Chain A
């Protein structure tokens, strides 16, 4: 189904740890959306910030609302964090290629870094409906930057948490426990989203274990509709080409991305 432009009322804005969550009344987008897709939001009120901001859909509630989670990193996200209920936001969506669920019930590892874990919760809802076994692996710099481990506990059948500083779960990177989980949890699918170095490492660990892995990338984006060619990533196999992550992604097969071209020459280099 084609994406649409929808003017959405803010239903709720709340804090999630150190992040912000925005729930929008977006019935047409919500009806069409699948996990891994994103909405492209205009910053209301400030004409000096012309570009939209892309956000993975964290969850869809029926009927008709879409939730996104973000960190305040600049003037645009700061303005979005200041929205109040019934303020209006202009959205395009759902955009991009979603995660492909397995065709038969499978055991799945859902690996997320920071607020980048957002689409895993939508994905978990879809995978549960397909009677998949779900194990979440959530990592972040600190406990406050973990996204919704409680929700992961509720949606999944298992949860592993890591923080860089050890303030919650295992001290270390989200990829540290992954090798063991791939070996022992009988994982048949890996789904990951978060920073690019993390995705590079997850993709390689999954490939080494022979487990199919899909990753949702985050590249600097302008249009979200395929016309500006900003958000490209090199994809193979063989001689690579620059694929637009807004059209062919943001979800890619982990083995399709030429991680070495992006500056992650081998597994050790990304850890």
Chain B
């Protein structure tokens, strides 16, 4: 049974195939993570899923100081997707460590903490603060949130700026580091190469795409922030293309593929073209069990494809039609 609608369950009992993958030296129970900004701080969905059974939870981005975020409306539905301009609302790293992180660690979740800062120094201080905190498996650098005041804060639009952030973080922590990049650039491979050369252990591809929608009746933007990040199935082909391009150019660099994954087949697209793991984002808003159900479906996909493990999928992919 294949998935019908957005967030339909995959159906059927999962088999007992080993789904675990190695991501930058960290063993994930499955290759399916919850994407940053799309799973809150994790504990919100503790009543819906067993947090410890997920491949991992990438938290909503955490900054040094609390952030209130943008005015409302913060989201708008668009064809097969949505725009958001949440504006990185978060309680700040200290409250996060004392509350949500402790909860996640005690729940046995594999936690990837997403970090956001306005300068390389802020990223470095965040990484230093989290170094050695129980329960932190990896950190992900949000170098590409489009919902910031200044375009200059989107470090991932410039190879040198992105690399500077990575260097500051690597100097401050022994935790493996993922750099999350944007597809809103002319040459993504150049940015990817720069952050890998600066020491990034892996890449997360891609963040939301900068977009805008207009309420023609009221003749106003549909988001209070005017522009926002586009997510959902609408961006999946862009995300798959990015993973493919970077995986070809930088073989051996672990990639977390994300962008519009709803079903196991969607996740398989990313794994076939070279992603080590995937992250489910917007689908969690429709189906709180999406991460679990994509992993269950992936197990059936592997069996049908004759693959013993997710890592075997790239070898089964044939680039020529």
Residues of A within 8 A of B (CB): 2-3, 5, 42, 44-45, 47-52, 76, 90, 92, 219-223, 225-233, 241-242, 247
Contacts of B86 in A (CB 8 A): 228-230
Q: Knowing A42-B6, A50-B6, A50-B232 touch, does A227 contact B286 (C-beta < 8 A)?
A: no
The winner among A221, A223, A231 for most chain B CB atoms within 10 A is: A223
**B79 interface residue (CB < 8 Å to A):** yes
> Which of A220, A222, A229 is within 8 Å of B69, CB to CB?
A229
- A226 contacts B82, C-beta separation under 8 Å: no
Rounded to whole Å, the gap between the CB of B282 and the closest CB of chain A is 7
Contacts of A90 in B (CB 8 A): 5, 7-8
- A50 contacts B38, C-beta separation under 8 Å: no
A200 to B288, CA, bound (A): 32
Contacts of A49 in B (CB 8 A): 77
A-B contact pairs, 17 of them (CB 8 A): A42-B286, A49-B77, A50-B233, A50-B282, A51-B82, A51-B286, A90-B5, A220-B74, A220-B76, A222-B285, A225-B45, A225-B288, A227-B285, A228-B40, A229-B74, A229-B89, A230-B75
Instruction: Classify the secondary structure of A's interface with B.
Output: loop
**B174 interface residue (CB < 8 Å to A):** no
- A230 contacts B72, C-beta separation under 8 Å: yes
Contacts of A227 in B (CB 8 A): 38-40, 44-45, 284-285, 288
Q: Knowing A225-B44, A228-B84 touch, does A47 contact B39 (C-beta < 8 A)?
A: no
- A220 contacts B73, C-beta separation under 8 Å: yes
A23 to B248, CA, bound (A): 53
Contacts of A47 in B (CB 8 A): 5-6, 80, 233
Rounded to whole Å, the gap between the CB of A101 and the closest CB of chain B is 24
**B20 interface residue (CB < 8 Å to A):** no
- A223 contacts B79, C-beta separation under 8 Å: no
A247 to B72, CA, bound (A): 16
Contacts of B73 in A (CB 8 A): 219-220, 230
Contacts of B317 in A (CB 8 A): none
Q: Knowing A51-B286, A92-B288, A232-B69 touch, does A220 contact B75 (C-beta < 8 A)?
A: yes
Contacts of B251 in A (CB 8 A): none
Contacts of B77 in A (CB 8 A): 49-51, 76
The count of chain B contact residues (Cβ–Cβ below 8 Å) is 37
Q: Knowing A51-B77, A51-B285, A242-B89 touch, does A229 contact B60 (C-beta < 8 A)?
A: yes
A247 to B285, CA, bound (A): 14
A241 closest partner in B (C-beta)? B68
Contacts of A231 in B (CB 8 A): 72
**B17 interface residue (CB < 8 Å to A):** no
Rounded to whole Å, the gap between the CB of B101 and the closest CB of chain A is 16
- A50 contacts B40, C-beta separation under 8 Å: no
A76 to B82, CA, bound (A): 14
- B79 contacts A48, C-beta separation under 8 Å: yes
Contacts of B72 in A (CB 8 A): 219-220, 230-233
A42 to B288, CA, bound (A): 13
A52 to B286, CA, bound (A): 6
**B289 interface residue (CB < 8 Å to A):** yes
Contacts of A44 in B (CB 8 A): 5
- B289 contacts A5, C-beta separation under 8 Å: yes
Contacts of B233 in A (CB 8 A): 47, 50
- A225 contacts B48, C-beta separation under 8 Å: yes
Query: Which residues of B in the span 21-45 have a Cβ within 8 Å of any Cβ on A?
Result: 37-40, 44-45
A87 to B289, CA, bound (A): 23
Contact with A along B229-249 (1 / 0, CB 8 A): 000110000000000000000
- B84 contacts A232, C-beta separation under 8 Å: no
| Further 20 A-B residue pairs, CB within 8 A, beyond A90-B5, A219-B73 | A2-B48, A45-B5, A47-B5, A47-B80, A50-B6, A50-B7, A50-B232, A51-B82, A52-B285, A76-B77, A92-B288, A223-B285, A225-B44, A226-B45, A228-B40, A229-B40, A230-B75, A232-B74, A242-B69, A247-B44
**B173 interface residue (CB < 8 Å to A):** no
A224 closest partner in B (C-beta)? B285
- Which 4 pairs of residues, A with B, have the shortest CB-CB distance? A227-B40, A226-B44, A223-B285, A220-B73
**B47 interface residue (CB < 8 Å to A):** yes
Rounded to whole Å, the gap between the CB of B220 and the closest CB of chain A is 14
